[in-house]
Structure 1
Amino acid sequence: MTLSARHLCVSALSLLPLLPAVAEERPASTEPTLQTVTVEARRRSEDAQQVPTAMSVLGAQALEEQRLYRLQDLQQALPSVNVAFMHARQSSLSIRGLGNNPASDGLEGSAGIYLDNVYLGRPGMAVFDLLDVEQLELLRGPQGTLFGKNTTAGVLNITTRKPTFTPQGTIATSIGEDGYTQTQGSFSGPLNDTLAGRISAYHTEENGYVKNDFNGHDLGGGKRQGFRSQLLYKPSEDFNLRWIADYNEENSSAGTRSLFSTGPTINGVNRYEQRAAAVGATLVDGRHVNLNADQRVTVFQGGTSLEANWMLPNDFTVTSISAYRWWDFTPRNDDELNVEVMHNVGQSARDKQYSQELRLASPAGEHFDYVLGAYYFRQEMQNKVFTYYGPLADTWNGTPQGALNNVSTVGNGSVDTDSFALFAQGTWHLSPVVDFSLGLRGTYERKLADVTRDAPTGGAAVTGAAATVRNARVGAYDSGDLSLYSFSPSALASLAWHVNDQVLAYGSLSHGEKSGGVNLSVASAPVAGADSLLIGSERANDAELGVKTTLLDRRLLLNANLFWTEIHGYQTNAYDDANLTSYLTNAGTVRSRGLELDSSWRPLPGLTLSANGSWNDVRYLSYDDAPCPAEVALRPGAPASCDLSGHAVVGASKWIFNSSASYQWRLDNGLQPYVNGNYAWRSHAVGTIDDSEYAQLPSYALVNLATGLRGDLRDGQWDVSLWLKNAFDKTYYTTLWNSPNGAYTGVLGTPRTLGVTARYDF
């Protein structure tokens, strides 16, 4: 497509009203009221507007209209959310600025991700195309008293469509610029009177949008594909059994980082540029890289779960969820240069997890109703850390000649986690309009780990200073047996006041904890000792005040909440400039406070406007042993650490605003035209934990537009849409990373992309 054609599409579609991000599924009908959204935030089905918890909900239709198919896209639609994404291993979900700890194989996330009621032990387990999804629920604040694994920041709960006893299906194909193609299909129906099945599959390809000047190839794209199969056995209204199996794989060049900044110039010298010149590297930036080695990741993952629900004669419900998941990740990374500094560097990971949850829910509508249960989770994580230096390694690293040139090193880490929990949450209906809820959880965890590094191979024989550096950087190491034992309590106290049928006001106090973690790379352990590989628990105290309103005969939903959270022992990643490695640490005390708004409005049949936004002030109250930014760390006589108390937390935009508009109408001939538009804006954010002035993420705004036409065909409905993502071709970085010699690199967001989707539902 020519540039003028692109501009014509932008001009025509930019006339759409760009209001609010969808907070619920929009009905296909032209009824003037908003559809009721049912959630299971308290482990029983309830109207979202009657649950005294800060939450946002995205339904299937909203996800399809806004083309939100991947975890990293969700920050364009949800308040207080940031997704730090480089590839499946180095990804994390943060809520209210808490949880930016990617690439930590020995640590669970602060924000929990659940897929069909199964906790995902790695955020990367959710990095696949989110297709055939029924609903996404974002619960903000500690959620430990009911959800299977302790979480201190919040929960993203993903629910896929169930098998149906009525035959139905969907086939959709999309094509777009930069070689983008996506095909998906889903089929569901009865196998007999008591058994129904469902199968869904997808295949996605894209060329990428970052040009490698070294060979002319496009990077950042690749292939993703997967399937999900289900059986639902329902012999009566009192019992059902749902079996799910899924598999996903990826072969891509995800993880390609572009040069964001070469860092500071100190005493007239920019170290990154100076050493790049010394090794003969040619630097490029923007949507260009210059890599002489391969950039690739492969991901294979899958799992199975079995959920059983019994309705007992006294209307109590027993739920059992048994699950197993596995995840394999292998990278091949360049050193970001077009010369032989490194041949390959990275960390592969292999993860297996098993979980069992058992719950008992009392009948609803009594004076006192409750949910209680037990939970077991086992995770077996192994990783391999590898670095293969090239002949220019010493010049680039500033080490004595021969110390690292052509040297290879491989390390291995493993951690086995066993988690046991008992939990209960009950609600007293003190009066027809006042409810008091109390929740408790006790979690005991045991982590057994070890970290080793083999003796280096290759390179020339060295003595003196070169031998000392080689041993410090890549020498053999064995941590011996490491262990962590912890007991983590969680608690919730909530008061809800149903002012009338349209207004719910609530307040809550909660405490959440999650256990410590293990650095599964050697880092500075040979000097600091094996105990430096262990970090302590993260503890959160949270206070909330909120209101949910359903107004104008259910044509307007308007929700707001205030929150104040303090995290003690905040777990995060830091970067060691001396050893050129990331490591886990407890970053002191963090305070997150703010205001969140969420709204949907249906002013007339067929038109839905939605908006949400947040103001988050997320800072370190105390962090006096923090890594120093490059402008400090590279100066002569630099301190070993810096004080970041009072600084903003990495990745936390203070202001976030998302909005969307959707309008559909019906012509006399039965055809249904529609137009959709959404706008997402976030303010500046700190790019790396050291809060360097050279690693600040600028604010940016994205506009996505679509228009289409639907019509009936036999027993189904066809749909053809033209869509334009990032309509004004904004160049933006989603996340930043520390690089050697004081530079900072980042992952670029997708450029303007025009495409078309054809879909048939039957």
Structure 2
Amino acid sequence: MTSRHSPFPFKPRRLRAPDYAVVLLLALGGALPVLAEETEDATTGSETSKPVSAAQAKADATLGKVTVTARRREEDSQKVPTPITVVGGETLETQRVYKVQDLQQILPSVNVAFIHARQSSIAVRGIGNNPASDGLEGSAGVYLDNVYLGRPGMAVFDLLDIEQLELLRGPQGTLFGKNTTAGVLNISTRAPTFTPERSVEVSGGQDGYFQGKGTVSGALTDTLAGRVSAYRTRDDGYIKNVHDDNYLNGGERQGIRGQLLFKPNEDFDLRWINDYNEEDSSNGSMVVYGAADRFWQRAAAVGASPIRDPDRHKVNINSRQHVSVHQGGSSVEANWNLNGGYKLTSISAYRYWHFTPANDEQLNVSAINNTGVEVHDRQFSQEIRLASPTGGFFDYVLGAYAFNQNLGNKTFTDYGPLADPYLLGANLNALNNTYSKANGKIETDSFALFAQGTWHLTDKLDFTAGLRGTYEEKDAKVERFDPVGGAPVTGVGAVVRRNQLGAYDSGDLSLYSFAPSALLSLSYQFTDDLLGYASLSHGEKSGGVNLAVASAPTAGADSLLVGPERANDAELGIKTTLFDNRLQLNTNLFWTGIHGYQATTLYQPPGSTQLVSVLSNAGSVRSRGLEFEATALPIRGLTLNFNGSYNDVTYLSFKDAPCPAEVSTQANAPATCDLTGDRVVGASKWIANLNGEYAWNLDDGIRPYVTGSYSYRSEAEGTLDNSDLSKIDGYGLANFSVGLRKDLDDGQLDASVWLKNAFDKDYYLAAFASINGSYTASVGQPRTLGASVRYDF
């Protein structure tokens, strides 16, 4: 395929000059002197990546030990009896993975549904593929520096200065408490160091892409170190709006993270992290992916001409598409090494998130001028845990956790002069030129006690048991106000306006729950290089509240409540290290049963003019399959990583599912459909990811390298109703880069040229049920050619 804007396949498109103020700021940050003299003091923060000299590169290649905190203490990942994938910050940088939606290209059993920051979700083993519901947590927990993120959108920022990612699969409620029935993505950033570390990086590419990043770290005093990292990213977008010839799904993102590490001695350290991120973009712009006849008929009736071919990556809309996100937080982690080898940890955190959208209805006429959901969210959390010494017959971790979240949203719709003929099929003046607003709020209080212990029955056989008890309260309210604007109306028009937009107050809504989580595990170290394990676990995810009016006026306020989701899981796996630590092979079988699977969707019921948000317990789900991971150093300079999964995710019972548009828009359509035995939304049966890097040494400290990656996922159901119109085809993506590293003065220069989505594959990150039996889809990034220059010193 050729470029969308040029007859030449790889000609840069609209390559802008960089934002010189940002480049200068990052360069100055990178050049800041360390405030204290460099010393030989062994008191340092966590180890971080340093420039690799040519002499170091000549050392014999073996796989290094990877340290993880999956069991809330530092351990070798190959000795932890649970499925876990670790990706280092260097791999993220080499593969240019810096957005959450790209993580599925390097992680097994992961699906990321992404439209914009609010409508995003991370699913593990097919569990958790739900569009945003503000009153419901995700099934896969996301942690940033040991702090749980209450909304998936809190993770939608550029991954900056990352130490490593840990993906834990299966219920992790014992030690990672807060609704982790599917798994945990644990993101760790690089800590301050007492030795100087500075870097600056600038990238540019097609579609006006520019990114600047900088980091400076070092000692401030003998006992205090600091680290500051900042980034700014922008691009023009890649969805063309033929209405005005502008491009959408572009914009600007920027953020900063500042840290202090206080370490007066070997027995105490305190790390204080503050971060802020913001986005000003047109993300959330989707193409019309598929639609029933009603959509095309109604669009033609009002003179609209939507684009029929989603692969053209074009829309025809006359209103604004915009997303504004402001978020940040502060956390303090303190660690004490106590007498007898015990370790006490305290983590205190506050985070906030503010999301504001503007959305069109996919038409180039004024049926709906603007619609969306604005969200304000803030959370507080406190965790205290005690880890026992290791080396004896029994060791353990125990602790307590408290979490408070206060979220409010505003759902708004500004109807245009053509609202009635498009939404009702007749002009009753019921909705034309009216404005409707509804507010929702929910406060969550969660408290937990947890403990997990390991008995070393022999020098090879370990037995682990864990238990967590979580008590949670949720108090909520939903209120819709009378519409404003519109012409005075009587008769049928007045009835429709009242039924669709009339005032409603749910009153106070409450949920109370006690949720146990448990783990039983046996592991056997057959040899120093072979670990086998088997485990049984149980996890629970608390209930939620639909913060949209939805069905409440007719079905009652209780229809806004959804019960808990419960998961039972069994694992059987091995971890091996072979050929003098040059090859690691890990594989596991899993079986997970989900009861009360929580699901949310948008659809338009017969006779209604409104998209209704439905939040319910969608019966039972079974997820079972096989996962495989390999890391190899076959020859000096070549590193290969491969992971893949086979995942069979099926509804064992889902008798009251929404019907697909090809059914629901027909005359005498049933109110619900039966999806029992069908595949779960968003879950690809086959996933495979391969990446590698080959580097070699030349004279004068020059080290060329080439990298490549390929990720594949099979087809998946796009929306909860399993419509044929929203099915997402399977696809494979290839990325390549070539570059060289050179030792320069006391640092290392790294210059590269890279190509993302090299074969310009059309692919989609999510589908969404929309108006009049239509489905929209979020388009993946097209082929992008760019270059980066980085200097670490």
TM-score bin, normalised by smaller chain: over 0.9
Deviations 1:333-380 (A, max 9, x none): 111110000111000000000000000000011110000000000000
Q: Report the Cα distance in structure 1 between the residues aligned to 2:165 and 2:715, rounded to whole angstroms.
A: 27
- Contact 2:712–2:733 (CA<8 Å) still a contact in 1? yes
- Contact 1:25–1:62 (CA<8 Å) still a contact in 2? no
Q: Report the Cα distance in structure 2 between the residues aligned to 1:8 and 1:485, rounded to whole angstroms.
A: 59
Deviations 1:77-104 (A, max 9, x none): 1111011110000000000000112211
CA 1:561–1:27 in 2, change beyond 3 Å: closer, same or farther? farther
Does 1:694 pair with 2:705?
A: no
Q: Which residue of 2 aligns with 1:483?
A: 510
CA RMSD of aligned residues (A): 1.5
1:373 to 399, 411, 434: 399
SS of residue in 1 equivalent to 2:238: strand
Deviations 1:486-526 (A, max 9, x none): 00000000000101011100000000001100000000100
- Contact 2:438–2:548 (CA<8 Å) still a contact in 1? yes
The letter of the residue matching 1:540 is A
The letter of the residue matching 1:303 is G
Q: Which residue of 1 aligns with 2:261?
A: 232
Q: Which residue of 2 aligns with 1:17?
A: none
SS of residue in 1 equivalent to 2:633: strand
Report the alpha carbon displacement of residue 4 of structure 1 after superposing the two structures with TM.
7.2
Does 1:617 pair with 2:643?
A: no
Does 1:346 pair with 2:369?
A: no
- Contact 1:26–1:35 (CA<8 Å) still a contact in 2? no
Q: Which residue of 1 aligns with 2:94?
A: 65
Deviations 1:647-699 (A, max 9, x none): 11110000001001110011122200000000001000000000011111001
Does 1:408 pair with 2:435?
A: yes
The letter of the residue matching 1:368 is F
Q: Report the Cα distance in structure 2 between the residues aligned to 1:761 and 1:581, rounded to whole angstroms.
A: 52
Q: Which residue of 2 aligns with 1:559?
A: 586
The letter of the residue matching 1:386 is F
2:243 to 203, 210, 214: 214
Q: Which residue of 2 aligns with 1:680?
A: 711
Deviations 1:720-759 (A, max 9, x none): 0000000001111111111111111101001100000000
2:753 to 716, 722, 727: 722
Deviations 1:205-247 (A, max 9, x none): 0000000111111100000000000000000110000000000
Q: Which residue of 1 aligns with 2:447?
A: 420
Please give the TM-score of this superposition, normalised by the length of structure 2. 0.92
CA 1:271–1:25 in 2, change beyond 3 Å: closer, same or farther? farther
SS of residue in 2 equivalent to 1:469: helix
Q: Which residue of 1 aligns with 2:415?
A: 389
Does 1:149 pair with 2:178?
A: yes
2:302 to 273, 279, 298: 279
Report the alpha carbon displacement of residue 313 of structure 1 after superposing the two structures with TM.
1.3
2:106 to 77, 81, 87: 77
Report the alpha carbon displacement of residue 7 of structure 1 after superposing the two structures with TM.
6.0
Q: Which residue of 1 aligns with 2:201?
A: 172
Tell me whether 436-445 or 97-106 shows the greater mean CA deviation.
97-106
Q: Which residue of 2 aligns with 1:757?
A: 788
Q: Report the Cα distance in structure 2 between the residues aligned to 1:84 and 1:150, rounded to whole angstroms.
A: 19
Q: Which residue of 1 aligns with 2:120?
A: 91
- Contact 2:140–2:179 (CA<8 Å) still a contact in 1? no
SS of residue in 2 equivalent to 1:208: coil
SS of residue in 2 equivalent to 1:49: helix
SS of residue in 1 equivalent to 2:431: coil
Q: Report the Cα distance in structure 1 between the residues aligned to 2:500 and 2:683, rounded to whole angstroms.
A: 33
SS of residue in 2 equivalent to 1:685: coil
SS of residue in 1 equivalent to 2:355: strand
Q: Report the Cα distance in structure 1 between the residues aligned to 2:7 and 2:672, rounded to whole angstroms.
A: 53
1:556-595 matched pairs, under 5 angstroms: 556-578=583-605, 579-595=610-626
Q: Report the Cα distance in structure 2 between the residues aligned to 1:299 and 1:124, rounded to whole angstroms.
A: 9
The letter of the residue matching 1:275 is R
Q: Report the Cα distance in structure 2 between the residues aligned to 1:547 and 1:620, rounded to whole angstroms.
A: 29
1:474 to 484, 495, 501: 501
Report the alpha carbon displacement of residue 581 of structure 1 after superposing the two structures with TM.
2.5
Report the alpha carbon displacement of residue 535 of structure 1 after superposing the two structures with TM.
0.3
Q: Report the Cα distance in structure 2 between the residues aligned to 1:5 and 1:283, rounded to whole angstroms.
A: 29
2:770 to 735, 739, 743: 739
- Contact 1:600–1:608 (CA<8 Å) still a contact in 2? yes
Give the gaps of 5 or more residues in structure 2. 13-47
Q: Report the Cα distance in structure 1 between the residues aligned to 2:470 and 2:335, rounded to whole angstroms.
A: 24
1:216-615 matched pairs, under 5 angstroms: 216-263=245-292, 270-284=293-307, 285=309, 286-398=312-424, 400=426, 401-578=428-605, 579-615=610-646
SS of residue in 1 equivalent to 2:391: coil
The letter of the residue matching 1:370 is Y
Report the alpha carbon displacement of residue 635 of structure 1 after superposing the two structures with TM.
1.3
SS of residue in 2 equivalent to 1:604: coil
SS of residue in 2 equivalent to 1:722: strand
SS of residue in 2 equivalent to 1:64: helix
Give the gaps of 5 or more residues in structure 1. 10-23, 264-269
The letter of the residue matching 2:324 is T
1:187 to 207, 216, 235: 216
SS of residue in 2 equivalent to 1:637: coil
- Contact 2:603–2:769 (CA<8 Å) still a contact in 1? no
The letter of the residue matching 2:641 is S
Deviations 1:438-458 (A, max 9, x none): 000000000000000001111
Q: Report the Cα distance in structure 2 between the residues aligned to 1:326 and 1:539, rounded to whole angstroms.
A: 28
- Contact 2:137–2:179 (CA<8 Å) still a contact in 1? no
Q: Report the Cα distance in structure 2 between the residues aligned to 1:668 and 1:172, rounded to whole angstroms.
A: 25
Tell me whether 631-640 or 462-471 shows the greater mean CA deviation.
462-471
- Contact 1:415–1:450 (CA<8 Å) still a contact in 2? yes
Report the alpha carbon displacement of residue 575 of structure 1 after superposing the two structures with TM.
2.4
How many residue pairs are counted as aligned between the two chains?
742
Deviations 1:128-183 (A, max 9, x none): 00010000000000000001423100000000000000011110000000000000
SS of residue in 2 equivalent to 1:396: helix
The letter of the residue matching 1:220 is N
Q: What is the identity percentage for the equivalent residue pairs of Structure 1 and Structure 2?
A: 62
Does 1:102 pair with 2:131?
A: yes
Q: Which residue of 2 aligns with 1:14?
A: none
The letter of the residue matching 2:664 is A
The letter of the residue matching 2:467 is L
- Contact 1:511–1:542 (CA<8 Å) still a contact in 2? yes
CA 1:224–1:181 in 2, change beyond 3 Å: closer, same or farther? same
Deviations 1:50-73 (A, max 9, x none): 100101111011101111101100
Does 1:633 pair with 2:664?
A: yes
Q: Which residue of 2 aligns with 1:33?
A: 62
- Contact 1:574–1:585 (CA<8 Å) still a contact in 2? no
- Contact 2:455–2:464 (CA<8 Å) still a contact in 1? yes
Q: Report the Cα distance in structure 1 between the residues aligned to 2:211 and 2:232, rounded to whole angstroms.
A: 6
- Contact 2:291–2:661 (CA<8 Å) still a contact in 1? no
Q: Which residue of 2 aligns with 1:16?
A: none
Report the alpha carbon displacement of residue 574 of structure 1 after superposing the two structures with TM.
2.2
Structure with the greater relative contact order (CA < 8 A, sep ≥ 6): 1 or 2?
1
2:145 to 116, 119, 124: 116
SS of residue in 2 equivalent to 1:686: coil
Tell me whether 729-738 or 478-487 shows the greater mean CA deviation.
729-738
The letter of the residue matching 2:117 is A
- Contact 2:290–2:725 (CA<8 Å) still a contact in 1? yes
Report the alpha carbon displacement of residue 464 of structure 1 after superposing the two structures with TM.
2.7
Q: Report the Cα distance in structure 1 between the residues aligned to 2:360 and 2:614, rounded to whole angstroms.
A: 20
